[in-house]
Amino acid sequence: MWSYIARRLVQAVVVLFMITAVCFTLTRLSADPMAQYANRPGITAEQKELMRKRLGLDRPLPVQYFSWLTLALQGDLGVSFFSKQPVFTLISQRLPMTLILMTTAEVVIIIVSLFLGVISAVRQYSLLDNTVTSFSFIGYSMPIFFIGLGLMLIFAVKFKEWGLPYFPTGADIWDPKDIRELAWHLVLPVSCLVIIQVAGYSRFLRSSILEVLGLDYVRTARAKGLRERAVLFKHALRNAALPFVTIIGLDIPAMLGGAIVTESVYAWPGMGRLFWEYAQRGDFPVVNGVLLLTSSAVVFFTIITDVIYTFVDPRIRLS
């Protein structure tokens, strides 16, 4: 297993090099940081050229990339063009809020998906299964910004008009260190993420469980006289959950990148909102810093998921 991990780590270095090169090139070509000074009076062409040299924008693109990569490997992600703050500082300020939001949402998603997936599979074609299926298709087909705005309209605006306890929209000023305020502000954005994710997760898990329930070893377990609950949870669910583990393992790195739409709709001060705000300004040091963090997490957790597979299913061996 250690030789497998060593090979994967070497592959990870190559993959990260390719990802960072592509991301750096695309972000660098997508916007010009000097565009914000285009219509600003009082700045001459000579001053703009001096700014470009100071920022290193006058050098060839490969030179800019390797210079950025060398500093990034030393822990220096550069300085934001807009806020003049170190990129590492900006990320460290936003990352805790994103982890709180995404971790809460992921835990709720896994619990609800497992419950709905198992119930739908056990009671196939029942009224409950058809109801869950209908709501899953509706939730999966709706854009996330529509769900976010819809929840805000009903549970924040209309509830306030009706004199009912209403949830905040994120536009108000609140203290994240206050646990009660933090939990109250989490409800709507977490619900938004749960609706869109549970719709796909539960249907995937339902199909996987139904497929496993028809296999020979499950019928053998039933023939031995095992109770249906033991057959379902001890034999069927453990194997049906293998693809589910893969999906979760690949979704975990997305927690670091945040949810761009949800965080923007609810003004959540996380990584997704940070990425969107600075991408619009052409501030590619911040954009590349977020992309580097997210891509590194994707590669790392992919390796972790492969290793966890061997513990979930002893039939799998890493060679």
Q: What is the CATH number of the domain that holds 237?
A: 1.10.3720.10
Residues 6+ apart with CB under 8 A from 159: 165, 166, 167
Query: What is the C-alpha to C-alpha distance for residues 182 and 268, in angstroms, rounded to an integer?
Result: 11
Q: How high is the pLDDT of residue 90?
A: 92
Report whether 65 contacts 25 (CB < 8 A).
yes
- 18 found inside a domain: no
| Domain assignment present for 234 | yes
For residue 81, tell me if it sits in a domain. no
Which of 18, 32, 100, 10 has the alpha carbon at shortest distance from 65?
18
Residue among 13, 28, 61 nearest 295 (CA):
13
In sequence order, the 6+-apart residues with CB closer than 8 A to the CB of 222 are: 228, 231
Other Cβ atoms closer than 10 A to 208: 20
Q: Is residue 112 part of a domain?
A: yes
Report yes or no on 36 lying in a domain: no
Q: Is 22 part of any domain?
A: no
pLDDT attached to residue 108:
92
Instruction: Give residue 12's pLDDT.
Output: 84
Where do we find the tokens 């001096």?
50
Q: What does the pLDDT read at residue 36?
A: 62
- pTM (2 decimals)? 0.80
Domains in the chain, number: 1
Q: Residue 250: inside a domain, yes or no? A: yes
pLDDT at 155: 92
pLDDT in tens, the chain (319 residues): 677 778 878 888 888 899 889 988 888 887 766 666 656 666 677 777 777 777 777 788 888 888 888 888 888 888 888 888 999 999 999 888 888 988 899 899 889 988 888 888 888 888 888 888 888 888 888 888 888 889 999 998 899 899 888 888 876 777 777 888 888 889 999 998 888 888 888 888 888 888 888 788 888 888 888 787 888 887 777 777 777 777 777 777 766 666 788 888 888 888 888 888 888 887 888 988 988 888 888 888 877 777 776 666 666 555 5
Q: Identify the domain containing residue 213 by its residue range.
A: 89-312
Report the alpha-carbon distance of residue 143 to residue 132 in Å, rounded: 19
Report if residue 77 sits inside a domain. no
